[in-house]
Amino acid sequence: MWDALDITADDAAGLAEIAQHDLALARDFARRALAAEDNDEANRLARSYQRAARSYRQTLAVKARLKRDLAIAARTQADTPKTKPGGAAVARRITELRGALLRVSWDEAESVETDGASEAEAFDLACEDFSYRRRDIELVVAEACLKPDFGAGPLDDEVAEVALRLGFDADAIRRWRELPDPPQAALDREAEPIAWRSSA
């Protein structure tokens, strides 16, 4: 929020420190002026006290104005509607989201138990499982990109939200950037169409 006023938190802390020094100086000059026995010395210390006290009052006024300006900036920021991502940004986010979900999906497809299967058979089963998962991913991504705030937040948050809806493992979702891309053979496999039969 400080950047809304083009200052830093250190600047604000410095202002508070200056106020403390001004107050300490004013108190010191006041104490010494009251204790002075020489009139000239008492007058000089009283003038120094007045300058330090005025500086303290001005610093407090700046702090009060800063607090008011920060409150106004916060209200303005809250009231300003967030700009919706444009077409190119949405297209890029769809690609990023799909890529992340494919990584998590391939990781899960590879993890499916294939007891007694050879390496080639296990890979073939993983590709088949992955093909069905891809179909689900496409449906969920198509639905997600229709939301008005799609692409406005961090990619990791969007990946987690959609991946959890797909029922993916939370640990795999967290590590999606570390996971490998699916092999081309898995991407080339198409899911078998679902054969719907009438019960009539």
Give pLDDT tens digits for 70-104: 788 778 777 766 666 667 888 898 999 999 999 99
What is the pLDDT averaged over residues 158-173?
A: 90
What is the pLDDT averaged over residues 53-62?
A: 85
Judged against a pLDDT cut of 90, whether residue 115 lies above it is answered with no
Q: Are 54 and 97 contained in the same domain?
A: no
Judged against a pLDDT cut of 90, whether residue 160 lies above it is answered with yes
More confident position, 196 or 7: 7
pLDDT given for residue 159 in this prediction: 92
pTM of model > 0.85 = no
pLDDT given for residue 122 in this prediction: 87
Q: Considering only CA atoms, which of 111, 135, 117 is closest in space to residue 189?
A: 135
Q: Are 93 and 182 contained in the same domain?
A: yes
Domain's final residue, options 79, 101, 133? 79
Residue 199 in any domain: the answer is: no
Residue 195 in any domain: the answer is: no
Q: Are 92 and 178 contained in the same domain?
A: yes
Domains in the chain, number: 2
Q: Are 60 and 91 contained in the same domain?
A: no
Range of the domain at 122: 87-188
Q: Are 117 and 179 contained in the same domain?
A: yes
Residue 198 in any domain: the answer is: no
Q: Are 183 and 111 contained in the same domain?
A: yes
Residue 72 in any domain: the answer is: yes
Q: Are 58 and 110 contained in the same domain?
A: no
Rg (CA), the chain: 33
Share of the chain above pLDDT 70, in %: 88
More confident position, 82 or 22: 22
More confident position, 78 or 21: 21
pLDDT given for residue 17 in this prediction: 86
Q: Which residue has the tokens 């699916």?
A: 182
Q: Considering only CA atoms, which of 142, 152, 154, 138 is closest in space to residue 102?
A: 138
Express each pLDDT in 176-187 by its tens digit.
Answer: 999 999 999 888
Q: Are 68 and 109 contained in the same domain?
A: no
Q: Are 94 and 69 contained in the same domain?
A: no
Long-range contacts of 76-80 (CB under 8 A, 24+ apart): 76/4, 77/1, 77/4
Q: Are 66 and 108 contained in the same domain?
A: no
Residue 193 in any domain: the answer is: no
Q: Are 42 and 103 contained in the same domain?
A: no
**Whole-number mean pLDDT of the chain?**
83
Residue 148 banded pLDDT, cuts 50, 70, 90: confident
